[in-house]
Amino acid sequence: MKKENIYILGIESSCDDTSAAVLCNDEILSNVVADQKIHAEYGGVVPELASRAHQQNIVPVVHQALSGAGISKDQLSAIAFTRGPGLMGSLLVGTSFAKSLAYGLGIPLIDVNHMQAHILAHFIDEKGHQKPPFPFLAMTISGGHTQIVKVTNYFEMEVLGETIDDAVGEAYDKSGKTLGLGYPAGPEIDKRAQLGNPKAYKFTKPKVEGLNFSFSGLKTAILYFIQRETKANPKFIEENLNDICASIQYTIIGILMDKLKLAVKQTGIKHIAIGGGVSANSGIRKALKDAEKKHGWTTYIPKFEYTTDNAAMIAIVGYLKYLEKDFSDFDVMATARLKI
């Protein structure tokens, strides 16, 4: 007997991207992301503006995802949505929309943990992308998250370490602000870092026990360093920008790699999957490739569009939960501080 196709609509609205995706089994048919330019003016995400923009975007984004996939809403098997963690006002938009649509269509509703979704994005069926074997280590690095997780099975995950203050992407963005770069500054720092000397300036790495991270001290150290140097030479930034960016990047990648090496040592697991916006970074990609040769690791990096916040990753979790018949009640609540 031919197996019936399962169509999942995924909805993501945890931060500043409104996204909807349609999946047929584990293959993506469409993945639409409306990012919100408005936050650039403020140098960071403004929660109230994000929530309002989600309200404006959600209907056209879902509509575009369905038409891009070439299916009608009556063909959907279930609707998966981000329950948390994230900004409450933003989560509420996606949660309420998903509930009403699923209720109206009479199909199951599936709640998804955003952090699990970043990891399970590796199980989207994609030509050329190898899925990591269990158990593996996942490092999620973005503007909102910095976490190392031991993944024993799809829904058996253990957080080994996470940031105790800023996320790694924030360290990029806040250092960029100090240097007068636009928001988000990660891509620009990365571009300039490749043209500069990584050992031009030395920033001390934070001393944090075990597998937790801290980035707020580094941000402050960079601020004081720039204030001191520009006092002596007002043109310090413009004359040395590439070297400054290279030195910041060298420090940040060093911090991430030290923790990954410790996680490998503690667990004996050498399959490493990364995700989140910062996984686009040339420095981390190169460091991982080097570790493959030097330490025998196997590393996994998903396609960029599935690594930043997107609904395809929500839909794949929806599919995996659908197979388990793990559905939500309609009184499920958005939860800003949801744990893995």
Annotated binding site for Fe cation: 114, 118, 309
Which residues are 146's β-sheet partners? 141
- Given ligand KG4, Zn ion, none, residue 166, with its beta carbon under 5 to 8 Å by kind, binds none
User: Cβ(150)–Cβ(260) under 8 Å?
Assistant: no
What is the residue type of 124? Answer: I
- Enumerate residues 154-183 that contact Zn ion by CB under 5 A: none
Q: CA-CA distance, 237 to 190, in Å (whole number)?
A: 16
Which pair of tokens denotes residue 161?
């370490």
12: helix, strand or coil: strand
Which residues are 270's β-sheet partners? none
Size of site (CB under 5 A) for Zn ion? 1
- Would you say 108 or 186 has its CB closer to ligand KG4? 186
- Would you say 102 or 273 has its CB closer to ligand KG4? 273
Contacting residue, 256, 278, 320, 334, with ligand KG4 by CB under 6 A: 278
Under rule CB under 6 A, residue 277 binds ligand KG4: yes
Q: CA-CA distance, 201 to 245, in Å (whole number)?
A: 10
Contacting residue, 280, 287, 332, 340, with ligand KG4 by CB under 6 A: 280
Q: CA-CA distance, 319 to 116, in Å (whole number)?
A: 13
Q: CA-CA distance, 326 to 322, in Å (whole number)?
A: 6
What is the residue type of 184? Answer: P
Under rule CB under 5 A, residue 309 binds Zn ion: yes
- Would you say 111 or 190 has its CB closer to ligand KG4? 190
Contacting residue, 309, 312, 315, 317, with ligand KG4 by CB under 6 A: 309
User: Cβ(212)–Cβ(256) under 8 Å?
Assistant: no
- Given ligand KG4, Zn ion, none, residue 206, with its beta carbon under 5 to 8 Å by kind, binds none
- Would you say 77 or 175 has its CB closer to ligand KG4? 175
Which pair of tokens denotes residue 91?
């989560």
Binding site for Zn ion (CB under 5 A): 309
Binding-site ranges for ligand KG4 (CB under 6 A): 15, 142-144, 169, 172-173, 184-187, 190, 276-278, 280-281, 308-309
